[in-house]
Structure 1
Amino acid sequence: MMSFKKIMIVDGGTKGSQISFQIAFSGFDVALYETNPKDIQSIKRYLNILKSYYKDELKATQSHIDEAYNMITFVHSIDEGIKDADLVIESMSESKGSQNNFYQEIDKKANHETIFATTHSNLLSSDVLNTINHKDKCIAVNFLSEPWLRNIVEVIGTPGTDLSAYDKVLHFLESIKMITIPVRQNEPYSILNSLLVPFISAASYLIGNDVADVITIDKTWMKATGDLQGPFGLQDIIGLDTTLDILKLKNETNKDMWKQNYIDIVNAMIKDGKLGKLSGQGFYKYPNPIFEKSNFFDAPTYIQNLTHGFKNITIAGGGVLGSQVAFQVASGGFEVNLYDINENALNKAKERIDNIKVQYEKDMGVSKNEVNSIAHNINYYSNLFEATNNSDLIIEVVPENHEVKEKFYKQLAQVMPEKTYVVTNSSTLRPSDFEAYTGRPKKFAALHFANHVWINNTGEVMVAHETSEETFNKILAFARDINLTVLPIKKEQPGYILNTLLVPLLTAAQRLLALGITDFKMIDKVWMIATQSKKGPFAILDIVGLNTAYNIALDSYKRTQSPIDKRILDILKEKVNNNELGIGVGKGFYDYTNGVPYESKSFLK
C-alpha cells in the first residue's frame, strides 16, 4: 500500500496545530497553510507550547521534539501547499460557506490521487466535501484534542468514498500512533461529537441562562462522576475557538437568548487571548488549573462564613433516599425526626437505617460505636404534628409525584411552626410548583441529594421563584454542615445541574445505538478515551437503572412519536423485560458476573 510522504494541513488553530505536530512527530513532512496570514504567529506560539507537552507528558527527547517542529513548513499559498501533497487535512472553522469556497479553489489544483479529509465537528462530511470533483477521494477524520494522549480518530466515509482511499487513510493514521475507529455511516458529529455537542451545549446553557457559574458546574460533574475535569475544563482542552464555532452554527438554526449570551462570553475571552489550555488560559489558567488542586471541592470563603442556626431537622419520607438523608443529617450532629405516613412505613425505614449503618461503617472507615451514635440521633414519627412541632428545617423526600407532594405540603402548612424553613429534594418537578402550598414561599428552596449520599455527597442548593436570599444562604450553610459539597444554583432549573448535563449525554448515546452507528461498548470507549472518564454513557445508564431509563424514554416517545425514540424505547423495554436492570441486579448493558468490565485495563485497548 502506498505510504504518504507529504501532508498538507489547512488552518492551524487549536485543532490544526495539534494534528500538525502529531503528524510531524511521527516522521512526516507537514505543509501548514493558514488561510488567515495574521494568525501565523499565534500558530507558531501554539506549536512551541506543544513542545513542552510532548516533553512532559510523552517524555519525548528534546532532539525528537525539535526534529518534529522542523518538519512543519509554513506555506503561503494553496499552490505551494498542494504541490506533491498526498493527503490534505482541512481543519477550518465550522462554516460550511468558507469550507466550500476553499474546496472549490483547491480542487482545481490537486492531482487526482490526492485524498481530502475534513476534521468537521458539526457538518455532514458529504456536505463539506460536496464541491470536490473526485468524490471517491473524500473522507472525514475526527481527531480528539491532545492527540498525543487521546489517540483515537474516527474515520468517516462519504457515500462515494473509494475503499482503497479509505484504507490508505486508516493505514496512515495508524502510522502516526492513532487508534482508528471506522464509521461507515455519513452522520454529522461522528460518535464523539454526537456525545460531546449536546453535553457541551447543556453546560453552555447553564452559563448563558445564568443558572450557575463555571466552577459550580464543573464541581457538580466531577464530584458525581469522578471525572478528572468538568465540561468547562473539557472545553479548555478542545479549544474555545472550536466550541464557539459549534455554538454559532447551532444559533443559526435555532436562535435562543442563552446561546447569544454564551457566544458573547466566549468571544470576549478569545479576544483577550484566552483560547483554552493550549494558550495558557481559558476558563482556567494552565498549567496546574485549580480543578486539579486538592482543595477544589472545598466550600468558597463566603459559604464557609455563612450561618443557619438550625438544630432540629425533620426528614419527611423514609424511603431509600429519605433514610439516607436522615442518616447524613444525623452524622452532622443534628437531632433528626424521620417522618412517614404509618408504622409499617417507619419499620421499613428503621430496617433501611440498619442497612445504612453497615454500609456507612464500611465506606467511611468508622467504628460501630460511631454509626450507632449517629443512628441514636434519629427519632421516628408517624404523626406529622409531632414530627415537626419543634423543627427548624423540614426536608421533603416524599415520592416524586405532583399530587402526592401537593397533598403533603397542604398538610404540612397546617402544623409546622412559624420559624420553620422547608426544602424539597424533588428531582424532576419544579420547586416553584409547590412553594405557595407551604404558606411560606420565601422560606422555601430546593436541596438535592444524590443516592449513596455519604459517598456521592453533592448538595445542589437551588432557589424557587420566591426564595429569599436569607433562606438561600441558610440552606447553603446547612448543606456545608452535613458534609456535602455545596453547589449553589442561582436560578430555578428542572434537573438541577447534574441532570441538565447528564440527560442530553445519555440520550445522545442511546440515539447512536438506535441508529446502528456502532455498539454500546464502542460508544463508551470513545467517551472514556476522549474525556479520560472512568465510565461511559452506558455504564452510567447501568448505574442509574434501566427501569428509570425506560420510564424517561417512554415519556420522551409520548411527546415526540419519533421512530428513533421508539427504537430506544424498544431496546430498553427488552432489557427491562429480561430483568437486565443494571449493575444492581448484575446485568444491564454490561454483564457484571465477573466484575465491572469497563474497569478492566484491557477494556480501552
Structure 2
Amino acid sequence: MSSQLNSLTVLGAGVLGGQIAWHSAYMGKQVVVYDLFEDSLGRCKVAHEQYAEIYLADLGASEQQMEQTRQRLRYSSDLADAVAQADLVIEAVPEIPEVKAQVYREMAALLQPHCLIATNSSTLLPSQFADATGRPAQYCALHFANLIWAMNVAEVMAHADTSEHTLRSIAAFAIEIGMVPIPIQKPQNGYVINSLLVPLLGAAQSLITNGVSTPEMVDRTYMITNRGVALGPFGMMDVIGMKTCYDVLSYWGHQNRDEQTLKNAAYIKEHMIDQGKMGLQTGCGYYSYPNPAYAAPDFLAPPGLDAVDDIVRLTLPRKN
C-alpha cells in the first residue's frame, strides 16, 4: 500500500526536524519546514547544505539528486501557510509539554480534514497531546534517530484513540522514506531508543558534572569497550544538540525530583549553552567540528609514555 502522504510539513527547524525534512525531500516528498523564528530557518538552510555534502560523500547521491531535493523544500515562518497543503505534519518542536500543546492548538483549525499528525518526541507520550491536536484518531508518534540517513529507524507509538488507518499510513510513510519502523507495543516514555540512550547519557554527564572524568576519557572508555561504535556519549550529545539535552534533563529532573539530573541540566546550561557551545550544528559542543578529537585515527590507541605526567596529574587526589 502507498501512504498517500506526499506533502509533509515539519514543525521545528532544529537538528532533527531539519534532518527529517531534508531526508524526506531526498526520498521524494514535498516538504515545508516551519519555524517561528527566521534565524532558526536560516540555520536549517545552512545545515541542509551540509547534509547535501554528506549525502554526496556517504550515500553516493548525485548533484542532480541534491538539486531535486532542494526543489522539493520550502521554508516558512507562517504556520497557516506552512500546513495549508499538508497530508502529514511531523511535530519536532522543543521537548517542553506546554510548547507542544500550544502549537497543536494553534494548528488544529488550519489543517485539511485528511491531514495526519505525528510527534517526533520520544521522551513524551502522544497521549499527553492527543486532545490538543483536535483530531486524536489521526495522531500518533513517529520518532526518528539523529543522523537519520545512517541510523534509519522510526519508532511508531499509538495512543488509545489512534486509528488503524493512521498507523498503516504512518508505517507506510516511514518505509517510503527508507526507515525501519519500530512498533512500540506499550506506551513508555523513551520508547526504545531513548530508554536505552537517556540513562547512558545521564550517567556520562554525571561523571563530568561530579568531576569524576573528562568527556574525552568517558568517550574513549565507551568506544573501546564497545568496539566498532562511531561515537561515545559526548559525541552523541553533540549530535543531539545541547538545547534538547538540557530540555530533557530539566523536564525529567523536575518531574522525578532528581537532584543529580537537575545538576546535570544546570551544568549543560552554564558550561555549554551559555558559552554558545550548542553542539555539532553550530560547530562546537563538547568537541570542535568538523574535526572532533574522537574522529582522529589514534583516539582509541594506547598513548605514548609522554602521557604519563598528565595521567598522574589527573589521578592524584585533589587537595581542597
TM-score range (shorter-chain normalised) is 0.7 to 0.9
The structure having more radius of gyration, on CA atoms, is 1
Conservation of the 8 A alpha-carbon contact between 1:425 and 1:449:
yes
CA RMSD of aligned residues (A): 3.7
Q: Which runs of 5+ in 2 are unaligned?
A: 303-320
Q: Does the residue aligned with 1:495 lie in a helix, a strand or coil?
A: coil
Would you say the 8 A contact 2:216–2:294 is kept in 1?
no
Change (3 A) 1:307 1:522: same
Q: Is this contact kept in 2: 1:441–1:466, CA < 8 A?
A: yes
Give the equivalent residue in structure 1 for 2:308: none
1:403–1:513 Cα change, 3 Å: closer
2:149 maps to 454
What is the deviation of 1:591?
6.8
Specify the SS of the correspondent of 1:422.
Answer: strand
Aligned to 2:68: 373
Once residues 211 and 40 of structure 2 are traced to their aligned partners in structure 1, the CA distance between those partners, rounded to angstroms, is 45
Partners in 2 of 1:394 and 1:557 — Cα distance?
30
Shift of the alpha carbon at 1:331? 1.8
Cα deviations across residues 526-558 of structure 1 (Å, max 9, x unaligned)? 433433253433443444445654555555655
Secondary structure of the corresponding residue to residue 505 of structure 1:
helix
Q: Please state whether the residue corresponding to 1:398 is helix, strand or coil.
A: coil
Q: Which residue of 1 aligns with 2:297?
A: 600
Larger deviation: 595-604 or 404-413?
Answer: 595-604
1:555–1:313 Cα change, 3 Å: closer
Q: Give the drift of 1:424.
A: 1.5
Counterpart residue type for residue 4 of structure 2: G
- Letter of the aligned partner of 1:480 in structure 2? I
Number of the residue aligned with 2:271: 575
Where does residue 315 of structure 1 map in the other structure?
Answer: 10
Q: Residues 108 and 133 of structure 2 are in contact (CA less than 8 Å); yes or no, is this contact kept in structure 1?
A: yes
Q: Distance in 2 between matches of 1:391 and 1:430?
A: 23
Once the 2 structures are TM-superposed, how far is the Cα of residue 356 of structure 1 from its aligned partner?
4.0
CA apart distance, 1:328? 1.6
Query: Tell me, what secondary structure is at the counterpart of 1:314?
Result: strand
Counterpart of 2:137 in structure 1 is 442
**Which of structures 1 and 2 has the larger relative contact order (alpha carbons within 8 angstroms, sep 6+)?**
2
User: How big is the shift at 1:376?
Assistant: 1.4
**Quick check: 1:426–1:446 contact (8 Å CA) kept in 2?**
yes
> Do residues 419 (structure 1) and 118 (structure 2) align?
no
3-state SS of 1:313 partner:
strand
Question: How far apart are the structure 2 equivalents of 1:545 and 1:604?
Answer: 28
Question: Could you report, residue by residue, the CA deviation over 1:332-384 in whole angstroms, capped at 9, with x for unpaired residues?
Answer: 22233444458777666555545543443344332222111122123455554
TM-score, normalising length: structure 1:
0.42
Task: Report the more deviating stretch, 479-488 or 537-546.
Answer: 537-546
- Is structure 2 residue 205 aligned with structure 1 residue 506? no
Query: How far off its partner does 1:422 sit?
Result: 1.4
Task: Letter of the 1:540 partner, please give it.
Answer: M
Give the whole-Å Cα distance in 1 for the aligned partners of 2:42 and 2:267: 38
8 Å contact 1:338–1:380 — kept in the other structure? yes
| Maintained 8 Å contact 2:144/2:153 | yes
1: CA distance, partners of 2:43 / 2:218:
40
Separation (CA, whole Å) in 2 of partners of 1:601 and 1:575: 27
Name the SS of the counterpart of 2:186 in structure 1: coil
Q: Give the match for residue 175 of structure 2.
A: 480
User: How far apart, in 2, do the equivalents of 1:556 and 1:387 lie?
Assistant: 31
Match of 1:531 among 196, 221, 226: 226
Pick from 104, 107, 126 the counterpart of residue 431 of structure 1.
126
The aligned counterpart of 2:306 is none
Partner of 2:52: 357
Deviations along 1:509-530, one digit per CA (max 9) or x if unpaired, are: 3444556666655544443343
User: 2:10·2:31 contact (CA, 8 Å) conserved in 1?
Assistant: yes
Structure 1: gaps of 5 or more residues: 1-305
TM score, norm. by length of structure 2: 0.74
String of CA shifts for 1:199-231, please: whole Å, max 9, x gaps: xxxxxxxxxxxxxxxxxxxxxxxxxxxxxxxxx
